[in-house]
Chains A and B, each alone.
Chain A
Amino acid sequence: MNLTLDVWRQRHAGDQGRIVRYQAGGISPDMSFLEMLDVVNEGLILGGDEPIAFDHDCREGICGMCGFMINGIAHGPERATTVCQLHMRHFRDGDSLTIEPWRAGAFPVVRDLIVDRSAFDRIIAAGGFISASTGSAPEANNIAVPKQDADSAMDAAACIGCGACVAACPNASAMLFTAAKVVHLGVLPQGQPERKGRVKAMVETMDGLGFGHCTNIGECAAVCPKEIGMDTIAFLNRDLARSAVLTGNGRA
Protein backbone atom coordinates (compact mmCIF):
# COMPACT_ATOMS: atom_id res chain seq x y z
CA MET A 1 0.00 0.00 0.00
CA ASN A 2 1.09 3.54 -0.70
CA LEU A 3 -0.29 6.45 1.30
CA THR A 4 0.10 10.21 1.41
CA LEU A 5 0.40 11.48 4.97
CA ASP A 6 -0.04 15.09 6.06
CA VAL A 7 1.46 15.03 9.53
CA TRP A 8 1.59 17.77 12.17
CA ARG A 9 5.24 18.47 12.99
CA GLN A 10 6.10 20.62 15.98
CA ARG A 11 9.57 20.58 17.52
CA HIS A 12 8.56 21.65 21.03
CA ALA A 13 5.73 23.26 22.97
CA GLY A 14 6.77 26.78 21.93
CA ASP A 15 7.24 25.93 18.25
CA GLN A 16 4.70 27.20 15.73
CA GLY A 17 4.18 23.77 14.13
CA ARG A 18 3.08 22.94 10.60
CA ILE A 19 1.74 20.16 8.40
CA VAL A 20 4.45 18.23 6.50
CA ARG A 21 3.67 15.81 3.66
CA TYR A 22 5.23 12.33 3.60
CA GLN A 23 4.82 9.44 1.19
CA ALA A 24 4.46 6.07 2.95
CA GLY A 25 5.38 3.26 0.53
CA GLY A 26 5.43 -0.51 0.83
CA ILE A 27 2.92 -0.63 3.69
CA SER A 28 1.43 -4.04 4.49
CA PRO A 29 -2.33 -4.09 5.14
CA ASP A 30 -1.58 -6.25 8.21
CA MET A 31 0.41 -3.49 9.90
CA SER A 32 -1.14 -1.45 12.65
CA PHE A 33 -1.29 2.31 12.14
CA LEU A 34 1.61 2.78 14.55
CA GLU A 35 3.68 0.14 12.72
CA MET A 36 3.01 2.06 9.53
CA LEU A 37 4.38 5.18 11.25
CA ASP A 38 7.36 3.12 12.46
CA VAL A 39 8.15 2.31 8.82
CA VAL A 40 7.85 5.99 7.85
CA ASN A 41 10.10 6.90 10.80
CA GLU A 42 12.76 4.37 9.77
CA GLY A 43 12.88 6.09 6.39
CA LEU A 44 13.11 9.50 8.06
CA ILE A 45 15.95 8.37 10.34
CA LEU A 46 17.88 6.84 7.42
CA GLY A 47 17.45 10.11 5.55
CA GLY A 48 18.87 12.02 8.53
CA ASP A 49 15.50 13.56 9.53
CA GLU A 50 13.82 13.63 12.91
CA PRO A 51 11.26 10.80 13.27
CA ILE A 52 7.60 11.67 13.90
CA ALA A 53 7.09 11.60 17.67
CA PHE A 54 3.96 9.81 18.94
CA ASP A 55 2.94 8.32 22.28
CA HIS A 56 2.52 4.56 22.57
CA ASP A 57 3.12 1.82 25.08
CA CYS A 58 1.27 -1.49 25.16
CA ARG A 59 0.16 -1.47 21.49
CA GLU A 60 -2.69 -3.76 22.43
CA GLY A 61 -5.34 -1.13 23.07
CA ILE A 62 -5.44 -1.15 26.84
CA CYS A 63 -2.93 1.38 28.16
CA GLY A 64 -4.33 4.69 26.87
CA MET A 65 -1.01 6.13 25.74
CA CYS A 66 -1.57 6.29 21.99
CA GLY A 67 -4.02 8.40 20.06
CA PHE A 68 -4.18 11.17 17.48
CA MET A 69 -6.59 12.45 14.86
CA ILE A 70 -6.77 10.73 11.47
CA ASN A 71 -8.73 12.83 8.97
CA GLY A 72 -10.50 14.62 11.79
CA ILE A 73 -11.55 11.50 13.71
CA ALA A 74 -9.95 10.59 17.03
CA HIS A 75 -8.23 7.17 16.78
CA GLY A 76 -9.27 6.95 13.13
CA PRO A 77 -12.31 5.56 11.35
CA GLU A 78 -12.80 2.24 13.20
CA ARG A 79 -15.18 2.28 16.18
CA ALA A 80 -14.01 1.14 19.63
CA THR A 81 -10.41 0.98 18.46
CA THR A 82 -7.23 2.77 19.52
CA VAL A 83 -4.76 3.75 16.78
CA CYS A 84 -2.41 0.97 17.87
CA GLN A 85 -5.14 -1.58 17.14
CA LEU A 86 -6.25 0.13 13.94
CA HIS A 87 -4.94 -1.89 11.01
CA MET A 88 -3.99 -0.60 7.61
CA ARG A 89 -6.46 -2.98 5.93
CA HIS A 90 -9.15 -0.45 6.86
CA PHE A 91 -7.57 2.06 4.47
CA ARG A 92 -7.26 1.95 0.71
CA ASP A 93 -4.13 2.10 -1.38
CA GLY A 94 -3.51 5.70 -2.37
CA ASP A 95 -5.46 7.20 0.56
CA SER A 96 -4.53 10.66 1.76
CA LEU A 97 -4.50 11.00 5.55
CA THR A 98 -4.16 14.06 7.76
CA ILE A 99 -2.64 13.19 11.13
CA GLU A 100 -2.89 15.76 13.95
CA PRO A 101 -2.44 15.71 17.72
CA TRP A 102 -5.40 16.05 20.13
CA ARG A 103 -6.35 19.73 20.20
CA ALA A 104 -7.28 21.28 23.55
CA GLY A 105 -5.88 24.13 25.57
CA ALA A 106 -5.67 21.77 28.54
CA PHE A 107 -3.62 19.29 26.43
CA PRO A 108 -0.60 21.30 25.24
CA VAL A 109 1.44 19.71 22.45
CA VAL A 110 4.79 18.43 23.72
CA ARG A 111 6.14 17.44 20.32
CA ASP A 112 4.57 16.41 16.98
CA LEU A 113 1.65 14.12 17.92
CA ILE A 114 2.42 13.92 21.66
CA VAL A 115 0.26 15.99 24.01
CA ASP A 116 0.55 16.50 27.75
CA ARG A 117 -2.51 14.89 29.35
CA SER A 118 -1.58 15.48 32.99
CA ALA A 119 -4.77 17.58 33.23
CA PHE A 120 -6.54 14.21 33.50
CA ASP A 121 -4.34 13.27 36.44
CA ARG A 122 -5.41 16.47 38.19
CA ILE A 123 -9.08 15.60 37.71
CA ILE A 124 -8.39 12.17 39.22
CA ALA A 125 -6.44 13.74 42.08
CA ALA A 126 -9.47 15.92 42.88
CA GLY A 127 -11.61 12.94 43.83
CA GLY A 128 -11.19 9.97 41.52
CA PHE A 129 -10.23 7.66 44.34
CA ILE A 130 -11.51 6.22 47.61
CA SER A 131 -9.77 7.31 50.81
CA ALA A 132 -9.70 4.03 52.61
CA SER A 133 -6.87 2.59 54.64
CA THR A 134 -4.81 0.40 52.41
CA GLY A 135 -3.73 -2.78 54.02
CA SER A 136 -3.86 -6.31 52.80
CA ALA A 137 -6.63 -6.93 50.28
CA PRO A 138 -9.95 -7.50 52.07
CA GLU A 139 -11.98 -10.66 51.60
CA ALA A 140 -13.79 -10.11 48.28
CA ASN A 141 -17.23 -11.07 49.57
CA ASN A 142 -17.16 -8.87 52.67
CA ILE A 143 -19.05 -6.15 50.79
CA ALA A 144 -21.86 -7.50 48.64
CA VAL A 145 -22.11 -5.68 45.27
CA PRO A 146 -25.16 -6.31 43.08
CA LYS A 147 -24.16 -7.79 39.72
CA GLN A 148 -25.73 -4.90 37.78
CA ASP A 149 -23.74 -2.32 39.75
CA ALA A 150 -20.54 -4.32 39.36
CA ASP A 151 -21.17 -4.40 35.61
CA SER A 152 -21.78 -0.67 35.25
CA ALA A 153 -18.77 0.11 37.43
CA MET A 154 -16.64 -2.16 35.27
CA ASP A 155 -17.97 -0.60 32.04
CA ALA A 156 -17.04 2.86 33.31
CA ALA A 157 -13.71 1.69 34.70
CA ALA A 158 -12.79 0.51 31.19
CA CYS A 159 -11.83 4.14 30.48
CA ILE A 160 -8.10 4.21 29.69
CA GLY A 161 -7.80 8.01 29.85
CA CYS A 162 -6.53 8.32 26.27
CA GLY A 163 -8.15 11.74 25.78
CA ALA A 164 -10.03 10.95 22.55
CA CYS A 165 -13.26 12.29 24.11
CA VAL A 166 -11.69 15.72 24.66
CA ALA A 167 -10.16 15.68 21.18
CA ALA A 168 -13.44 14.80 19.46
CA CYS A 169 -15.59 17.25 21.43
CA PRO A 170 -16.26 20.56 19.63
CA ASN A 171 -16.03 22.19 23.08
CA ALA A 172 -12.89 20.27 24.14
CA SER A 173 -14.88 19.08 27.15
CA ALA A 174 -13.60 16.40 29.52
CA MET A 175 -17.09 15.40 30.64
CA LEU A 176 -16.98 11.82 29.35
CA PHE A 177 -13.67 11.12 31.09
CA THR A 178 -14.78 12.75 34.34
CA ALA A 179 -18.18 11.04 34.19
CA ALA A 180 -16.55 7.63 33.67
CA LYS A 181 -14.59 8.10 36.90
CA VAL A 182 -17.63 9.43 38.77
CA VAL A 183 -19.75 6.44 37.70
CA HIS A 184 -17.01 3.88 38.27
CA LEU A 185 -16.78 4.85 41.95
CA GLY A 186 -20.32 6.19 42.39
CA VAL A 187 -22.14 2.91 41.76
CA LEU A 188 -20.04 0.86 44.17
CA PRO A 189 -20.69 0.67 47.93
CA GLN A 190 -17.10 1.71 48.63
CA GLY A 191 -17.64 4.95 46.72
CA GLN A 192 -20.71 6.12 48.65
CA PRO A 193 -19.17 8.00 51.62
CA GLU A 194 -17.43 10.52 49.33
CA ARG A 195 -19.89 10.49 46.45
CA LYS A 196 -21.19 14.07 46.58
CA GLY A 197 -17.87 15.69 47.40
CA ARG A 198 -16.23 13.71 44.62
CA VAL A 199 -18.48 14.88 41.80
CA LYS A 200 -18.26 18.53 42.88
CA ALA A 201 -14.48 18.50 43.31
CA MET A 202 -13.88 16.71 40.02
CA VAL A 203 -16.18 18.98 37.98
CA GLU A 204 -14.73 22.12 39.58
CA THR A 205 -11.23 20.92 38.77
CA MET A 206 -12.26 20.04 35.22
CA ASP A 207 -13.66 23.57 34.75
CA GLY A 208 -10.60 25.14 36.33
CA LEU A 209 -8.23 23.34 33.97
CA GLY A 210 -9.87 25.09 31.01
CA PHE A 211 -11.89 22.24 29.49
CA GLY A 212 -15.13 23.25 27.78
CA HIS A 213 -18.66 22.25 28.76
CA CYS A 214 -20.82 19.44 27.41
CA THR A 215 -23.41 20.20 24.71
CA ASN A 216 -24.70 16.61 24.49
CA ILE A 217 -23.46 16.18 20.93
CA GLY A 218 -22.17 12.65 21.54
CA GLU A 219 -18.96 12.78 19.49
CA CYS A 220 -16.99 11.71 22.60
CA ALA A 221 -18.89 8.46 23.05
CA ALA A 222 -18.72 7.77 19.31
CA VAL A 223 -14.90 7.82 19.26
CA CYS A 224 -14.29 6.29 22.71
CA PRO A 225 -12.15 3.17 22.19
CA LYS A 226 -13.73 1.69 25.33
CA GLU A 227 -17.30 2.61 24.33
CA ILE A 228 -18.05 4.66 27.45
CA GLY A 229 -21.60 5.90 26.90
CA MET A 230 -23.38 9.22 27.22
CA ASP A 231 -25.36 7.66 30.10
CA THR A 232 -22.29 8.20 32.30
CA ILE A 233 -22.62 11.95 31.67
CA ALA A 234 -26.30 11.82 32.68
CA PHE A 235 -25.19 10.06 35.89
CA LEU A 236 -22.65 12.80 36.62
CA ASN A 237 -25.26 15.51 35.93
CA ARG A 238 -27.69 13.77 38.28
CA ASP A 239 -25.12 13.42 41.06
CA LEU A 240 -24.07 17.04 40.69
CA ALA A 241 -27.66 18.29 40.85
CA ARG A 242 -28.27 16.21 43.95
CA SER A 243 -25.05 17.38 45.57
CA ALA A 244 -26.23 20.98 45.06
CA VAL A 245 -29.65 20.31 46.58
CA LEU A 246 -28.63 18.04 49.45
CA THR A 247 -26.00 18.91 52.00
CA GLY A 248 -23.22 16.73 53.34
CA ASN A 249 -20.60 14.80 51.52
CA GLY A 250 -21.89 11.28 51.22
CA ARG A 251 -24.52 9.35 49.27
CA ALA A 252 -25.97 11.51 46.50
Chain B
Amino acid sequence: MREDRAVTAATRSPPASGPAAPVLLPGTSVARKQLVAITGVVGVLYVLVHMLGNLHAFQGPRQLNHYGEYLRTIGEPLLPRSMLLWIARIVLLTAVTIHIGLTAQLALRSRAARPVRYVHPGVVQASYASRTMRWGGLALLGFIVFHLMDLSWGVHPHFVRGDVYHNAVTGFRRWPVTAVYLAAMAALGLHLYHGTWSVFQTLGVNRPRWDRAIHRGALTLALIVGLGFSTVPVAVLVHLVK
Protein backbone atom coordinates (compact mmCIF):
# COMPACT_ATOMS: atom_id res chain seq x y z
CA MET B 1 0.00 0.00 0.00
CA ARG B 2 2.73 2.42 1.04
CA GLU B 3 4.77 1.41 -2.02
CA ASP B 4 1.83 2.08 -4.37
CA ARG B 5 1.32 5.57 -3.05
CA ALA B 6 4.98 6.29 -3.46
CA VAL B 7 4.95 5.21 -7.09
CA THR B 8 1.98 7.34 -8.14
CA ALA B 9 3.32 10.40 -6.36
CA ALA B 10 6.67 10.23 -8.03
CA THR B 11 5.48 9.58 -11.56
CA ARG B 12 2.78 12.24 -11.51
CA SER B 13 3.94 15.41 -13.19
CA PRO B 14 1.98 18.58 -13.91
CA PRO B 15 1.00 19.30 -17.50
CA ALA B 16 3.93 20.71 -19.43
CA SER B 17 3.25 24.30 -20.40
CA GLY B 18 6.42 25.17 -22.31
CA PRO B 19 6.73 25.78 -26.04
CA ALA B 20 6.23 22.65 -28.15
CA ALA B 21 9.70 22.22 -29.64
CA PRO B 22 10.09 20.00 -32.71
CA VAL B 23 11.22 16.60 -31.52
CA LEU B 24 13.98 14.92 -33.48
CA LEU B 25 14.28 12.08 -30.98
CA PRO B 26 12.04 11.61 -27.97
CA GLY B 27 13.31 12.14 -24.45
CA THR B 28 14.28 14.76 -21.92
CA SER B 29 16.84 17.48 -22.60
CA VAL B 30 19.27 15.46 -20.47
CA ALA B 31 18.75 12.25 -22.47
CA ARG B 32 19.26 14.17 -25.74
CA LYS B 33 22.43 15.72 -24.37
CA GLN B 34 23.64 12.25 -23.47
CA LEU B 35 23.16 11.25 -27.12
CA VAL B 36 25.16 14.33 -28.14
CA ALA B 37 27.89 13.14 -25.74
CA ILE B 38 27.94 9.58 -27.11
CA THR B 39 28.09 10.75 -30.73
CA GLY B 40 30.82 13.15 -29.63
CA VAL B 41 32.86 10.20 -28.36
CA VAL B 42 32.62 8.66 -31.86
CA GLY B 43 34.04 11.91 -33.23
CA VAL B 44 36.83 12.07 -30.64
CA LEU B 45 37.95 8.50 -31.42
CA TYR B 46 37.82 9.26 -35.14
CA VAL B 47 39.95 12.43 -34.99
CA LEU B 48 42.49 10.63 -32.81
CA VAL B 49 42.89 7.80 -35.35
CA HIS B 50 42.89 10.27 -38.25
CA MET B 51 45.61 12.36 -36.60
CA LEU B 52 47.81 9.33 -35.94
CA GLY B 53 47.34 8.18 -39.55
CA ASN B 54 48.42 11.58 -40.86
CA LEU B 55 51.79 11.22 -39.16
CA HIS B 56 52.70 8.68 -41.89
CA ALA B 57 53.42 11.81 -43.97
CA PHE B 58 56.73 12.12 -42.12
CA GLN B 59 57.75 8.67 -43.41
CA GLY B 60 57.57 9.86 -47.00
CA PRO B 61 55.28 9.48 -50.05
CA ARG B 62 55.45 5.69 -50.31
CA GLN B 63 54.43 5.09 -46.70
CA LEU B 64 51.61 7.64 -46.68
CA ASN B 65 50.13 6.47 -49.98
CA HIS B 66 50.49 2.89 -48.84
CA TYR B 67 48.58 3.75 -45.65
CA GLY B 68 45.83 5.36 -47.76
CA GLU B 69 45.56 2.22 -49.85
CA TYR B 70 45.68 0.02 -46.74
CA LEU B 71 42.55 1.75 -45.35
CA ARG B 72 40.64 0.48 -48.41
CA THR B 73 41.90 -3.06 -48.12
CA ILE B 74 41.33 -3.75 -44.40
CA GLY B 75 39.52 -7.04 -43.95
CA GLU B 76 40.28 -8.40 -47.45
CA PRO B 77 39.58 -11.00 -48.62
CA LEU B 78 36.95 -11.58 -45.91
CA LEU B 79 35.34 -8.21 -46.65
CA PRO B 80 34.99 -6.65 -50.10
CA ARG B 81 37.37 -3.78 -50.91
CA SER B 82 36.52 -0.47 -49.14
CA MET B 83 33.77 -2.20 -47.14
CA LEU B 84 35.16 -1.17 -43.74
CA LEU B 85 35.88 2.33 -45.02
CA TRP B 86 32.26 2.71 -46.07
CA ILE B 87 30.99 1.36 -42.76
CA ALA B 88 33.19 3.91 -40.97
CA ARG B 89 31.86 6.68 -43.22
CA ILE B 90 28.24 5.73 -42.55
CA VAL B 91 28.82 5.52 -38.78
CA LEU B 92 30.56 8.90 -38.82
CA LEU B 93 27.92 10.58 -40.93
CA THR B 94 25.16 9.23 -38.67
CA ALA B 95 27.01 10.34 -35.53
CA VAL B 96 27.70 13.82 -36.91
CA THR B 97 24.08 14.22 -38.03
CA ILE B 98 22.72 13.26 -34.61
CA HIS B 99 25.36 15.38 -32.85
CA ILE B 100 24.52 18.52 -34.82
CA GLY B 101 20.79 17.91 -35.13
CA LEU B 102 20.20 17.44 -31.41
CA THR B 103 22.52 20.31 -30.51
CA ALA B 104 20.71 22.67 -32.89
CA GLN B 105 17.39 21.64 -31.39
CA LEU B 106 18.62 22.10 -27.81
CA ALA B 107 20.29 25.42 -28.65
CA LEU B 108 17.06 26.79 -30.14
CA ARG B 109 15.19 25.77 -26.99
CA SER B 110 17.81 27.50 -24.85
CA ARG B 111 17.56 30.64 -26.93
CA ALA B 112 13.81 30.63 -26.36
CA ALA B 113 14.39 30.11 -22.62
CA ARG B 114 15.68 33.69 -22.30
CA PRO B 115 13.38 35.88 -24.41
CA VAL B 116 14.64 39.14 -22.84
CA ARG B 117 18.43 39.52 -22.80
CA TYR B 118 20.53 41.25 -20.17
CA VAL B 119 21.40 44.92 -20.71
CA HIS B 120 24.73 44.25 -18.97
CA PRO B 121 25.91 40.69 -19.69
CA GLY B 122 28.61 39.21 -17.51
CA VAL B 123 30.79 36.10 -17.26
CA VAL B 124 32.16 34.90 -13.94
CA GLN B 125 34.39 31.95 -14.80
CA ALA B 126 33.17 30.13 -17.94
CA SER B 127 36.07 29.18 -20.21
CA TYR B 128 36.37 30.52 -23.76
CA ALA B 129 36.11 26.92 -24.97
CA SER B 130 32.83 26.31 -23.14
CA ARG B 131 31.27 29.50 -24.48
CA THR B 132 32.19 28.87 -28.10
CA MET B 133 30.95 25.27 -28.47
CA ARG B 134 28.10 26.20 -30.84
CA TRP B 135 29.83 28.71 -33.11
CA GLY B 136 33.08 26.74 -32.92
CA GLY B 137 31.16 23.59 -33.84
CA LEU B 138 29.55 25.33 -36.82
CA ALA B 139 32.97 26.59 -37.93
CA LEU B 140 34.24 23.00 -37.74
CA LEU B 141 31.31 21.83 -39.88
CA GLY B 142 32.27 24.41 -42.49
CA PHE B 143 35.88 23.28 -42.29
CA ILE B 144 34.92 19.60 -42.71
CA VAL B 145 33.10 20.46 -45.97
CA PHE B 146 36.12 22.49 -47.15
CA HIS B 147 38.51 19.71 -46.16
CA LEU B 148 36.48 17.03 -47.96
CA MET B 149 36.29 19.19 -51.09
CA ASP B 150 40.01 19.87 -50.87
CA LEU B 151 41.50 16.45 -50.24
CA SER B 152 38.75 13.86 -50.82
CA TRP B 153 36.59 15.13 -53.67
CA GLY B 154 39.51 16.80 -55.42
CA VAL B 155 38.41 20.42 -55.76
CA HIS B 156 42.13 21.22 -55.67
CA PRO B 157 44.25 22.72 -58.48
CA HIS B 158 46.86 19.92 -58.45
CA PHE B 159 44.69 16.98 -57.36
CA VAL B 160 45.87 13.48 -58.32
CA ARG B 161 43.48 10.72 -57.21
CA GLY B 162 45.20 8.16 -55.00
CA ASP B 163 48.38 10.23 -54.51
CA VAL B 164 47.63 11.37 -50.96
CA TYR B 165 51.14 12.68 -50.38
CA HIS B 166 51.23 14.79 -53.53
CA ASN B 167 47.80 16.29 -52.82
CA ALA B 168 48.74 17.18 -49.25
CA VAL B 169 52.09 18.73 -50.15
CA THR B 170 50.84 20.77 -53.12
CA GLY B 171 47.86 21.86 -51.03
CA PHE B 172 49.68 22.94 -47.89
CA ARG B 173 52.37 24.76 -49.93
CA ARG B 174 49.77 27.51 -50.43
CA TRP B 175 49.85 29.43 -47.15
CA PRO B 176 46.17 30.55 -47.15
CA VAL B 177 45.15 26.87 -47.21
CA THR B 178 47.52 26.08 -44.36
CA ALA B 179 46.17 29.07 -42.43
CA VAL B 180 42.61 27.71 -42.77
CA TYR B 181 43.75 24.30 -41.55
CA LEU B 182 45.61 25.75 -38.56
CA ALA B 183 42.67 27.96 -37.55
CA ALA B 184 40.38 24.93 -37.81
CA MET B 185 42.74 22.91 -35.59
CA ALA B 186 42.61 25.66 -32.96
CA ALA B 187 38.81 25.47 -33.11
CA LEU B 188 38.99 21.67 -32.90
CA GLY B 189 41.25 21.86 -29.84
CA LEU B 190 38.83 24.20 -28.04
CA HIS B 191 35.84 22.03 -29.00
CA LEU B 192 37.60 18.87 -27.80
CA TYR B 193 38.71 20.44 -24.51
CA HIS B 194 35.22 21.39 -23.34
CA GLY B 195 33.58 18.50 -25.19
CA THR B 196 35.71 15.75 -23.68
CA TRP B 197 35.22 16.98 -20.12
CA SER B 198 31.52 17.41 -20.86
CA VAL B 199 31.19 13.79 -21.96
CA PHE B 200 32.15 12.65 -18.46
CA GLN B 201 29.87 15.23 -16.83
CA THR B 202 26.86 14.64 -19.09
CA LEU B 203 27.01 10.86 -18.88
CA GLY B 204 27.29 11.20 -15.10
CA VAL B 205 30.68 9.49 -14.90
CA ASN B 206 32.38 12.52 -13.34
CA ARG B 207 32.98 12.55 -9.57
CA PRO B 208 34.38 15.45 -7.52
CA ARG B 209 37.61 13.53 -6.84
CA TRP B 210 38.16 12.85 -10.56
CA ASP B 211 37.18 16.28 -11.82
CA ARG B 212 40.68 17.79 -11.98
CA ALA B 213 42.12 14.70 -13.63
CA ILE B 214 39.36 14.68 -16.25
CA HIS B 215 39.95 18.38 -16.96
CA ARG B 216 43.67 17.74 -17.39
CA GLY B 217 43.05 14.69 -19.54
CA ALA B 218 40.68 16.66 -21.78
CA LEU B 219 43.26 19.43 -22.14
CA THR B 220 45.99 16.90 -22.95
CA LEU B 221 43.82 15.19 -25.57
CA ALA B 222 42.87 18.54 -27.13
CA LEU B 223 46.54 19.57 -27.34
CA ILE B 224 47.69 16.22 -28.74
CA VAL B 225 45.02 16.17 -31.45
CA GLY B 226 45.24 19.90 -32.31
CA LEU B 227 49.04 19.99 -32.42
CA GLY B 228 49.33 16.52 -33.97
CA PHE B 229 47.16 17.53 -36.93
CA SER B 230 48.99 20.85 -37.25
CA THR B 231 52.43 19.26 -37.64
CA VAL B 232 51.82 18.08 -41.23
CA PRO B 233 50.68 21.39 -42.82
CA VAL B 234 53.35 23.33 -40.90
CA ALA B 235 56.07 20.84 -41.91
CA VAL B 236 55.03 21.19 -45.56
CA LEU B 237 54.97 24.98 -45.36
CA VAL B 238 58.51 25.16 -43.93
CA HIS B 239 59.72 22.51 -46.46
CA LEU B 240 60.43 19.84 -43.85
CA VAL B 241 58.09 17.61 -45.87
CA LYS B 242 58.41 18.00 -49.63
Contact = CB atoms under 8 A, between A and B. Distances in A.
A129 B9 CA distance: 9
Contacts of A218: 125-126, 130
**Chain A CB within 10 Å — which of B28, B30, B130 has the most?**
B30
Q: Chain A: interface residue count, which band?
A: 35 or more
B106 A213 contact: yes
Contact of B29 (A71, A122, A203): A203
Given A19-B119, A103-B114, A219-B124, A131 B9 contact: yes
B239 interface: no
Contacts of A200: 11, 28
Contact of A171 (B27, B113, B123, B204): B113
Interface stretch (B12-20, B60-68, B86-94, B161-169): B12-20
A205 B13 contact: yes
B115 interface: yes
SS of A interface (majority): mixed
Interface string A186-206: 000000011001101101111
A235 B204 contact: yes
B33 A241 contact: no
A234 B14 contact: no
Nearest to A122: B14
B10 interface: yes
Nearest to A17: B116
Q: Chain B: interface residue count, which band?
A: 35 or more
A152 to B, nearest CB: 9
Contact of B7 (A73, A197, A234): A197
17 contacts: A69-B120, A72-B123, A103-B114, A105-B115, A126-B13, A131-B10, A175-B30, A194-B10, A203-B28, A207-B16, A209-B17, A210-B18, A210-B113, A213-B33, A213-B110, A234-B205, A240-B204
Interface of A: 6, 8, 19, 69, 71-73, 98, 100, 103-106, 122, 125-127, 129, 131-133, 168, 170-173, 175, 193-194, 197-198, 200-201, 203-219, 222-223, 229-231, 233-241, 244, 249
Given A215-B198, A219-B123, 15 more contacts: A72-B122, A72-B123, A73-B122, A103-B118, A171-B113, A171-B114, A172-B110, A201-B13, A211-B113, A213-B109, A216-B197, A217-B126, A236-B204, A239-B204, A244-B27
